[in-house]
Amino acid sequence: MSLAAPVVGPKTDSSITGSIRLYNTLTRQKEALVTVKPGHVGMYLCGPTVYAESHIGHMVGPVIFDTIKRYLVYCGYEVTWVVNITDVDDKLIAASRKRGISMFQVATEMTADYLSNLRSLGVTQIDHMPRATDNMEEIILFIEELIQRGFAYASDGDVFFDVARDVEYGQLSNRTLDSQQGEGGEAASKKRSSGDFALWKSAKAGEPAWESPWGLGRPGWHIECSAMSRRILGKTFDIHGGGLDLVFPHHENELAQSRCCHGQPMVRYWMHNGLMRAGSSVGKVGGRATKADTDASSSASTTPATADAPAIASDAPADVSTKISRSKGAGGLADQIEKHTGERIRFFLLRTHYRSTIVFGDEGLEEAGQALNSFYRLISRFERITGVKFFEGVEYPSRRADGDMRLAQAPASDLRQSISALRQSFLEKMDDDFNTGGAVSDLFELARTINRHVDEHKLEETAKRTPEHLASFSLGMSVLHELGAILGLFIKPPKKTGDDDSGKLVEDLMQLLIKLRADARVAKNFATADAIRHGLTALSIGLQDLKEGTTWERT
């Protein structure tokens, strides 16, 4: 008999389940999701400029978009998700000079860093990751079209977007041209107006350059997103996202380029995630020492590209936190992941709403980890009682419609009733602008409901178990799996300790101690039993006496 819950119904049909609403930065309100192509969602997230290591702030967008895609797919949409890599830019050139390696090398290195961070946080749903340097033809073509349509002009090797020609300019960030205070940068003399921005920049000697109708040069910052999104997603697509700090100028300019080039809107829904701040009480951000700029030993472990960047908040008042950014020295996310694990960080991010500001710090991560552990304890409890492996043996519906049907067909019981209600509540929160923070609360309630079921029916005691109660238990765990998967949680077993030789030895030694203590307990020699427990406690090892034996864990 398999305790794994059956997956009901055909794998998928094209019907969409649920009514999703999302906050649109452009209109500043929540709107119902109506896609360009029925049943399909095209979404584009602005990825990093790969000139230095990524920091935790770079992960907010990918994690929420990864979750959004999982949810949309769960609801029956076919989703194409694009994240670009900007691998040509002034900062990349500067980094390559500083490090004495090619721009290409810098980009390759930092892209690898970015990808590894994404993987650690369970961001696995990206379909396309186009690089700017692989799309030069498309970019140049785009610029030519803009010139032809009269929205851009060439000027001494550079090409600028003519902001004055676009009467709708400023809609996204809600600002008028008059209020622009841009100085125009060093290219000011070549511009018609200070608000004009570069589509193409002429190359100076020794800079990486591509052939173009305007001479050797490279693309401006915004054009690659317009060109690459059009190539992959079309002239108008559904969702465009990024950090709140990209609203202006990046997205405003992207939007202007694309709309003017095509005479139709670029995007239906603009989504922006809140920015992350670092609590200075943390002392470190992204693994960077607070005094990196004065302490040579601490900067030895950082990369040459950012080693002498100023530290964050090193002289700020103790209760102040500031935005995390690389220009302030953040980086070294890999160290944070090593310390806290990717899933914990992901859970930490999803506990709050994506549009709110998050203060990143050890206290919050610890707390998140504490909370996450309770789910893993439930998973162990399930495996112990049923003998079924949660990660390999519990099947769960990958589509909302299937999940609905499965629950409707399950034998009626109080547990099914409450599980069903919690699942419903969870999905309604997700429908409402992907409210993962609210949805997580239902996950906790679900875990508590399942634990209560196990307690009430004494499922820890072999003799008291009934097939009905075990089946209900499994159904609950399957729903936990189903909902967790939407958030990208509980998908893979956490990495095991004890896979190597020393781990094996520790395990054997622990079993020996547990055996000795068990003998002492049988003999009512509690002094010895307690001596073992307390001795292990001092080594940060906890023992749990269960009905079926004793387990141990590092604390």
Query: Which 476-535 positions form the footprint of RNA (CB under 7 A)?
Result: 521, 526, 529-530, 533
440 is a site residue for RNA (CB under 7 A): yes
Radius of gyration of the chain (CA): 27
SS3 string, 217-284, reads EEECCCHHHHHHHHHHHCCCEEEEEEEHHHHHHHHHHHHHHHHHHHCCCCEEEEEEECCEEEEHHHCC
Segment interacting with RNA (CB under 7 A) among 14-22, 72-80, 394-402, 436-444: 436-444
Q: Distance between CA atoms of 323 and 314, rounded to whole angstroms?
A: 13
Assess 358 for contact with RNA (CB under 7 A).
Answer: yes
Closest separation between CB of residue 32 and RNA, Å? 15
User: Which one of residues 35, 226, 236, 273 is an interface residue with RNA (CB under 7 A)?
Assistant: 273
One-letter identity of residue 159: V
| Nearest residue to 496 (alpha-carbon basis) of 443, 554, 457 | 554
Q: How is residue 513 written in tokens? A: 């101690």
When binding is defined by CB under 7 A, the residue of 445, 485, 506, 541 that contacts RNA is 445
Which positions from 100 through 159 interact with RNA, judged by CB under 7 A? none
- State the residue for tokens 């055996």: 515
Q: Which is nearer to RNA, 203 or 244 (CB)?
A: 244
Taking the complex as a whole, the smallest distance from the CB of residue 37 to RNA amounts, in Å, to: 25
Of the pair 395, 432, the CB lying nearest RNA is at 432
Tokens describing residue 314: 């090193």
Residue with Cβ nearer RNA (244 or 485): 244
Residues binding RNA: number (CB under 7 A) = 83
Helix (H, G, I), strand (E, B) or coil at 421: helix
State which of residues 448, 458, 504, 515 lies at the interface with RNA (CB under 7 A): 448
Near RNA by CB under 7 A: residue from 17, 171, 180, 420 = 180
- Asked whether the beta carbons of 70 and 43 are under 8 A apart, the reply is no
Q: Is 364 in the site for RNA (CB under 7 A)?
A: yes
Cis peptide leading into 249, omega within 30 of 0? yes
One residue of 438, 484, 506, 541 binding RNA per CB under 7 A = 438
Task: Give the angle subtended at the CA of 22 by the CAs of 424 and 369, to the nearest 5°.
Answer: 60
With CB under 7 A as the contact rule, the residue among 324, 410, 419, 477 that binds RNA is: 324
- Asked if 9 is part of the footprint of RNA (rule: CB under 7 A), the reply reads no
Q: Which of 128, 175, 262, 384 binds RNA (CB under 7 A)?
A: 175
Sequence-separated (6 or more) residues with CB below 8 Å from residue 443: 375, 426, 480, 483, 484, 487
Among 119, 452, 464, 504, interactor with RNA by CB under 7 A: 452
Nearer to RNA, 40 or 376 (CB): 376
Chain positions 201 to 240 lying near RNA, rule: CB under 7 A, are: 221
Among 275, 405, 485, 541, binds RNA (CB under 7 A): 275
- Give me the DSSP letters along 364-431: HHHHHHHHHHHHHHHHHHHHHHH---HHHH----SSHHHHHHHHHHSPP-HHHHHHHHHHHHHHHHHH
Who's near 379: CB < 8 A, 6+ residues apart? Answer: 390, 477, 490
Nearest distance, CB of residue 517 and RNA, angstroms:
7
Residue closer to RNA, measured from CB, 164 or 408: 164
185 binds RNA (CB under 7 A): yes
Give the interface segment with RNA, choosing from 142-150, 268-276, 286-294, 495-503 (CB under 7 A): 268-276
User: Residue 401 or residue 415: which is nearer to RNA going by CB?
Assistant: 415
> 479, 396, 450, 440: which is closest to 6 by C-alpha?
396
Segment near RNA (CB under 7 A); pick from 14-22, 295-303, 358-366, 384-392? 358-366
Closer CB to RNA, 8 or 187, in the complex: 187
Using an 8 Å Cβ cutoff, are 195 and 51 in contact?
no
How far apart, in whole angstroms, are the C-alpha atoms of residue 328 and residue 335? 18
Look at residue 24 and give its three-state secondary structure.
Answer: strand
- The correct pick among 3, 4, 41, 46 for binding RNA (CB under 7 A) is 46
Regarding 320 and contact with RNA (CB under 7 A), the answer is yes
Q: Per rule CB under 7 A, is residue 58 in the interface with RNA?
A: yes
Contact 234, 41 (CB under 8 A): no
Least distance in angstroms from the C-beta of 8 to RNA: 28
- Judged by beta carbon, residue 190 or residue 250, the one nearer RNA is 250
| Cα–Cα distance, 492 to 494 (Å, whole number) | 6
**Helix, strand or coil, per DSSP, at residue 541:** strand
**Could you tell me if 405 and 11 are in contact, meaning their C-beta atoms sit under 8 angstroms apart?**
no
Which of 108, 281, 322, 420 binds RNA (CB under 7 A)? It is 322
Stretch that binds RNA, among 6-14, 58-66, 131-139, 159-167 (CB under 7 A): 58-66
Q: Which of 476, 398, 480 is nearest to 439 (CA)?
A: 480
- Binding region for RNA (CB under 7 A) out of 159-167, 289-297, 370-378, 409-417: 370-378
